[in-house]
Structure 1
Amino acid sequence: MNKHDGLADWMSKLPAELTTVPLWNLAIPGSHDSMAYCLDTSGDLEPDIPSWYPNLEEVFPGVYKYIIKRWTSTQALSITQQLDVGVRFFDMRIARLPDEDDGTLYFAHILYTTATVLRTFRQMSKWLAEHPKEVVIISCSNFNSMSDDDHQAFITQLMEIFSHTLYAFDQNDLQGGNSNNLPMPPTDATWWTFRTPAFYVDYTTDPNPNVHCIALYYSVLFWLQVTPTLQDCWEKNHQVILSYADQKQAANQELLWPEIDYWKANPKAGDEEVGYGSVAEKRAEEVVEYLTNRLQKEGRDEAKFFVSGLNVTAVEYDVLGDPLGELVKWASDARPQLMQWAIKQQPGPGHNCINILAMDFVDQEFVQTVININTGKENNTGKNDCE
């Protein structure tokens, strides 16, 4: 038996009262840059990255890609191992190799991965078929070097791979109506189009302001009706919530969800001189400060997925100052502070409640901690009082 089998089906083992809670009101464990465990040093670097990455070649000729890999590898577990230990949010950075014309897509984090996108998603689909009560949230973003044709071909492939397991963002498009039995809006394509939640109207031939108000009204109604819970997913045999960050390419695709907001702290300049226990610990302090302040001052959007990024980031002077270092050591040094912040949080609909917690180098301990937040086992309150 796999040593991680205990968490492979954790969603099906949640208390009954949590299975009817909207998924954006649960604490869900996720992985940051989920595929950056198989970066390929034999290929090129991504285009449009900070210039200091390729400049490393001048300082460390012959080995600079290995140095980059040490600082940009964010996970140690494969995608199926992450699923086995209970990770349920996946941060997928999609890219196409600029010089290849065969349409193959990869993942990327400065370097490209050896794993292809389609093979990885097929592995995930196979795993889900073996765990029918587990639900995953997949966030597709970046899309470096992808053309419009690449996007449309990729979306078609996603529909084929996950097919009936996709939980639609716009349920009403599939049902041909709405649960409130409201009259359906006109569907004349000459003046009526909308895509929730962007709330835009194509008034190409009829600039009637009443029409625009009706369009916004129905957009809001349709948006409010989509509230995924575990129970709802189980009843519909849906296991995949698929977010596509490029909303232009995803327009009119009712199965695709909009981009999921990822809250991530940016490193502050001058940290190399702080005299702290380690720069990684200082970065962890910055992450905690950023997440705390944003939750308190700005707060989360209700009825919407969002990610709190429990990950530290290395910048140019970190790598140049310690070329033999690696991100995994930083993650280990930063982890105690980040986990201490996490266990003090609570999920729920409140303004300063958390939802998805994503971390580098995820493991069973991290996942179990996040799961326990749902029942109050970590903060010892046994209740949810975030506001």
Structure 2
Amino acid sequence: MKQLYVQLGQQKEMSTVDATSFQGSLKDLPTDNWMSHLPCALWDLPLCNLAIPGSHNTVTYCLDKNNRSPVDLTQPDMLQKLDKYMKPLIRPFVYKWAITQESGVKEQLDAGVRYCDLRIAHRPNDHSNDLYFYHGVYTTVTVETVLKEIREWLDSHPREVLILSFSHFLGLNQELHRLLIETIKNVFVTKLCPKTESINLRNLWQLGYQVIISYEHNILNQYEELWAPIPYWWANKCKADALIEELERRKQRGRPGGFFVAGINLTEDLKYICSHPTESLKDLVMSTYPELLEWVKAQCPGSGTESINIIAGDFITESQLVPTVIALNENLMQWTQ
């Protein structure tokens, strides 16, 4: 009987959404609830065929300038050596090129981000089990703290679906992986969507699932809550035209079958940084956004070989990337009539 009441309640909720789905241009959707306002014609399409805005290196708004831990081992050798012997001079320099987002995670979600790129680390010489995010240097906030913030946001946005990609693990052993996965399960509980072949908004809403966890480690095979790593098209370029050329080359090979990310994030190499000592990553990114957004506007989601799915960028709340990506879903309407 309880299950029947739940089903009836879900049907009532669905009919309410049917009556209030957005009728105007998708670029004008309220960004904090844009999924729940999509036209009902899009509810049954596989989620991997929709255009979804994402943030690259989501948690870099709270990097720790004062921590004594060395620059992480993914950074160039020369930068690691300079940081070791000239930390007071080098650390602020690293910091301004390591920040990819200045807004907190809740602000990013309110702005419409539905894919989060989460890079996880255990600090060297840390005897606790605390995990942090990192990009060059480590964050001041723990992974658990941010996950709880995301859960709180989801509770107040019950029709929004997030894709959380855990990757680039640094310093984690098997036990820390297990502890992280248990934390994920304890925080999101019944909101976690088990891995399956295909999902759409309608069945996610009906089942109460709001979180898809992508996990870039072979331990994922032991958990039904963990999805396979999501391919990320990283151009590794510091100029917009070169980045676009690389993404177009990737498109010619055909899109992956499920979720995938086209990253429009630029890469600053040591040579570029040294030749632009007064600038920051934000200066580089914001100067190229107009050209990159023109490329985004020309894209089309769907199942075609050259279609896109998730598009991720830097400084997401300070550009027009989110509404531009959401509006791409209008291209799908003609196929659902």
Superposition TM-score tier, normalisation by shorter sequence: 0.7 to 0.9
Corresponding residue for residue 365 of structure 1? 320
Percent identity over the alignment? Answer: 35
Tell me by how many angstroms 1:42 deviates.
1.3
Find the residue that maps to 1:375 and give its secondary structure. helix
Find the partner of 1:145 among 158, 168, 171.
Answer: 171
Cα deviation, 1:198-241, whole Å, max 9, x if unaligned, reads xxxxxxxxxxxxxxxxxxxxxxxxxxxx2110111100000000
Q: What does 1:158-197 correspond to in 2, within 5 Å?
A: 158-170=184-196
Q: Distance in 2 between matches of 1:103 and 1:57?
A: 25
The count of aligned residue pairs is: 306
3-state DSSP of counterpart to 1:140? strand
Distance 1:102 1:57, change over 3 A: closer
Higher helix share: 2
Give the match for residue 81 of structure 2: 55
Alpha-carbon distance between aligned partners in 1 of 2:29 and 2:107, rounded to the nearest angstrom: 10
Determine the structure 2 residue equivalent to 1:122.
148
Gaps of 5+ in 2: 1-27
Deviations 1:95-153 (A, max 9, x none): 00011011000000011011110000000011001000000000000110001110011
In structure 1, stretches of 5+ residues that fail to align are 171-225, 268-279
Matched with 1:349 is 303
TM-score (norm 1): 0.76
Largest Rg, 1 or 2: 1
Q: Distance in 2 between matches of 1:48 and 1:289?
A: 25
Cα displacement (A) at 1:323: 2.3
Distance 1:82 1:161 in 2: 19
The alignment status of 1:316 with 2:282, answered yes or no, reads no
SS of 1:94's equivalent?
A: strand
RMSD, matched Cα: 2.0
After superposition, residues 74-85 of structure 1 pair within 5 angstroms as 74-85=100-111
Other-structure match for 2:224? 254
Q: Displacement, 1:56?
A: 3.4
Q: Give the Cα separation in 2 of the matches to 1:315 and 1:356.
A: 25
- What displacement does 1:62 show? 1.9
Are 1:235 and 2:189 counterparts? no
Aligned-pair CA distance for 1:61:
5.4
Partner of 1:39: 63
User: Does 1:293 find its partner at 2:249?
Assistant: yes
Cα distance, 1:262 vs structure 2 = 0.3
Counterpart AA for 2:265: N
Maintained 8 Å contact 1:67/1:324: no
Is the partner of 1:285 in helix, strand or coil?
helix
Q: Which amino acid aligns with 1:371?
A: I
> Does the aligned pair in 1 maintain the 2:132–2:142 contact within 8 Å?
yes
* TM-score (norm: length of structure 2): 0.87
CA distance in 1, matches of 2:323, 2:29: 12
Shift of 1:52: 2.2
Distance in 1 (alpha carbons) for counterparts of 2:155 and 2:85: 48
Look up the SS of the partner of 1:241 in the other structure: strand
What SS class does the counterpart of residue 255 from structure 2 fall into? coil
* SS, match of residue 185 in structure 2: helix
CA distance in 2, matches of 1:152, 1:64: 35
1:242–1:255 Cα contact (<8 Å) kept? yes
Shift of 1:60: 6.0
Select the residue among 227, 236, 245 that pairs with 1:266.
Answer: 236
Contact 1:103 / 1:150 at 8 angstroms: preserved in 2? yes
- 1:138 match: secondary structure: strand
What is the distance in 2 between the residues matched to 1:383 and 1:137?
A: 26
Instruction: Tell me if the contact between 1:5 and 1:85 (Cα under 8 Å) persists in the aligned partners.
Output: no
Paired residues of 1:166 and 1:239 also in contact (CA < 8 A): yes
Q: Against the structure 1 CA distance between its residues 359 and 103, is the aligned structure 2 distance closer, same or farther, given a 3 Å change threshold?
A: same
Deviation at 1:334, TM superposition (A): 1.2
| Contact kept? 1:288, 1:341, Cα under 8 Å | yes
Alignment match, 2:5:
none
Which amino acid is 1:288 matched to?
A: I
